[in-house]
Amino acid sequence: MISAEGGGGQGDAHSDFPWWLLILVAAGVYLGWRIVSDELYSEVFAIVARGVGVTVFVTLISFALACILGLAIAVAALSKSVILRQVARLYVEVVRGIPILVLLFYIAFVGAPAMVALWNWIMELTGGPQMRMRDFPLIARAIAALTIGYAAFISEVFRAGIQSVDKGQIEAARALGLSPWRRFHLIVLPQATRTILPPLGNDFIALVKDSSLVSVLGVADITQLGKLYAAGSFRFLETYNIVAYVYLLMTVSLSLALRGLEKRLRRAGG
């Protein structure tokens, strides 16, 4: 009886048809038809679509910088130095405990003025040019906040990936006389990549969604343009239907690509 149920479960798993995807495609086709055929939906879509470039720009720059900073934090967390390990742990625990929205406000209205004040103090001493707050644009503050926030999560992904590499191979590379950088570059990172990529992809998708938070700073992304249009026209249903539609187009496409990547990595790993 148990084996029969187990066999049936395996059969169901192999024949698990993605009905959820069909539902999403049907909803997407319907909204696409409304955008083409309905003048109001067409107008809303044209306005919201102007923010796609800003959303993509903020996401890509923030993610790239967060990966660089996250890798540095992960290496510090695995360092032999107690000080580096403690600093890395402190950074991760503090930043992960602060909501991204609060971090955005903090960086934009506390961190940025402090940086400008520090710069101006240094310039007074050296006779250099002064900086004004408007020289530090809101989009730069938003990118800085997202970078700082996501670096904490990404560092944990890198740390787990690095620790998944067999220590015997690292010891063998050390015995061959490879420098720490060459060991990391040639031995550790290529093997850790297989472990790192799926969760890193999930963080990228999460960042696409969290990039909408930059609208609270007035950055003209998808959410901000939709919010402005809805406030002026009172067409909240149509506007936020389109906003959700655009985000779903991006995130579902990325999610499907990530699933395909995970399958390829599983097949490559045997």
pLDDT tens profile 104-129:
999 999 998 898 888 888 888 888 88
C-alpha to C-alpha distance for 181 and 85, rounded to whole angstroms: 19
What is the per-residue pLDDT across 147-165, written as a single tens digit (0 to 9) for each? Answer: 999 999 999 999 988 888 7
For residue 250, count other CB atoms closer than 10 A to its CB.
17
Confidence (pTM): 0.85
Residue whose C-alpha is closest to residue 70's, from 262, 167, 204, 219 = 204
Both tokens of 53, joined, read 């470039």
DSSP line for 237-267: HHHHHHHHHHHHHHHHHHHHHHHHHHHHHHH
Q: Compute the half-sphere exposure of residue 64: CA atoms within 13 Å on the CB side of its CA.
A: 6
CATH code for 53-268? 1.10.3720.10
What's the token pair of residue 182? 């060459």
State the Cα–Cα distance between residues 253 and 249, nearest whole angstrom: 6
Sequence letter at residue 252: V
Identify the band that residue 10 occupies on the pLDDT scale cut at 50, 70 and 90.
Answer: low
Question: Would you state the structure tokens that stand for residue 144, as one six-digit string?
Answer: 């800085």
Domain ranges of the chain: 53-268
Per-residue DSSP letter, 240: H
Enter the tokens of residue 24: 């999403």
